[in-house]
Structure 1
Amino acid sequence: MGNPDNYTLQRALDAMCDVPGSDSALQARFSVALQHFHAMLDELKLTDEQLYRIAGWLGKVAAQDELVMLCDMMGLTMRALDLARTDGHATPQNVTGPFPKDQVAEGPNPCYIATEDEPGQRLEVRGRVLDASTGRPIPGATLIVWQPNQFGRYENEDDSQSEDNLRGKLRCDAEGAFDVFTVRPGGYVIGHDDTEVGVLMKRLGRNRQRAPHIHYRVMHPGYRTLTSQIYFKGDPANPVDCIFSAIEDHIVNIVPHPERKGYQLVELEVVVEPEPKR
């Protein structure tokens, strides 16, 4: 990693000292970052002018509140989530997105997050929350769900929707079961054509399409909070999802409902990890 003849890199590494107020863990991580940054400079042969242009561009991205979007479109967010996975039996984490609302009012179980006049394909999502170490249900686990409407719009970015539309919070029953009635969400395009990240994606030949999905979060004392998403098998947008989060672990079967006319059905097992013992 890096050029062994890079004297400046070695000086930057050696400049970190064990003095009052220093953080050895941060120094170790920053050393890795420094080596990668210097390796990038070496490989691209960047001039100081080009380096400062990149820094200025990142400042514009930050001013447009698109740093997270930049991480998402580069695949950094999903890679970080992959690296954080510690239990192969547990449901993997997925991207949180910009629109969670943990403070939404708690409702009953079953939970109806779509009003009767909400347009779209009716959908029931039912399942259980299980313990990754034992496979047993977790009674009373809190489930929060949120999603866009069939046109790909979340309520807090769309004045035509009522407050907390297509959002819900409920507690699992004694068997760890939950039941959510909603409509099938639509996909959407993230960002804007004229922002720094939008222009970058266009110049890279990248689309800004997000595959249709439903977000959910599971919380319970003694367990790690899980934030994840579900995607729908066979949707043509899954392979081109622009933040690479429509992965096989999160793609669910969707079938005609055997009991409710006009509905589709998703059955889901959500597996969460116990907090590590100290």
Structure 2
Amino acid sequence: MVDVVMDVWQANNNGVYDNIDNIYDHDCRVRVRIGKDGSYSYTTIMPAAYGGRNCLRPPHIHLRLAVPGYRTLVTQMYFAGNPLNGPNDCGCSFCGSGREVQQTQLDSSGRGRFDVVLTRAS
């Protein structure tokens, strides 16, 4: 596997995104190195739901991978059991369309697993 870095970003625990020019100098944006075996690990806080009165997004974490020979993937990791997930996520254009939205279940220590699968470029 080539040297791969995954971009990860999320809202903070107050539901606020850190949208500043140098995005990797801030707490809720990070670049995670992918291991030669395809594994990755990082530690973060639980993001809060965010939005307005008419549209409250569930807590989620964004992931982006660009690997030579594969289609670039931009996805979101949701947390199982949140009532705002799926068709109730008013800010997600594909979440109510029948497309599966991957969720992660956290264990008692707050750890979860989120598998990322890339598609070869055609």
Task: Quickly name the TM-score band, shorter chain normalised.
Answer: 0.7 to 0.9
Q: Does 1:148 align with 2:5?
A: no
Deviations 1:206-239 (A, max 9, x none): x311111000101111111100001101112225
1:266 is aligned, of 109, 112, 122, to 112
Residue in structure 1 matched with residue 58 of structure 2 by the alignment = 211
| Identity score, percent | 33
Q: TM-score, normalised by structure 1?
A: 0.38
Residue in structure 1 matched with residue 91 of structure 2 by the alignment = 243
Structure-2 separation of matches of 1:219 and 1:142 = 8
Check whether the contact 2:103–2:114 (CA below 8 A) recurs between aligned residues: no
**Which structure's residues are more often helix, by fraction?**
1
**Which structure's residues are more often strand, by fraction?**
2
Structure-2 separation of matches of 1:156 and 1:249 = 25
Residue in structure 1 matched with residue 106 of structure 2 by the alignment = 254
The RMSD of aligned alpha carbons is 2.3
Q: TM-score, normalised by structure 2?
A: 0.81
Task: Report the 3-state secondary structure (helix = DSSP H, G, I; strand = E; otherwise coil) of the residue aligned with 1:255.
Answer: coil
Residue in structure 2 matched with residue 168 of structure 1 by the alignment = 30
CA offset at residue 242 of structure 1?
0.7
Q: How many residue pairs end up in the alignment? A: 114
Task: Report the 3-state secondary structure (helix = DSSP H, G, I; strand = E; otherwise coil) of the residue aligned with 1:182.
Answer: coil
Q: Would you identify which runs of 4 or more consecutive aligned residues in structure 1 move more than 2 Å?
A: 138-141, 243-249
Unaligned runs of 5+ in 2: none
Check whether the contact 2:7–2:63 (CA below 8 A) recurs between aligned residues: yes
**Cα distance change, pair 237–249 in 1 and its aligned pair in 2 (3 A):** closer
Residue in structure 2 matched with residue 178 of structure 1 by the alignment = 40
Deviations 1:47-101 (A, max 9, x none): xxxxxxxxxxxxxxxxxxxxxxxxxxxxxxxxxxxxxxxxxxxxxxxxxxxxxxx
Structure-1 separation of matches of 2:33 and 2:8 = 11
CA offset at residue 248 of structure 1?
4.2
Unaligned runs of 5+ in 1: 1-137, 158-162, 194-206, 258-263
In the TM superposition, what are the counterparts of 1:76-225 in structure 2 within 5 Å?
138=1, 140-156=3-19, 163-190=25-52, 207-225=54-72
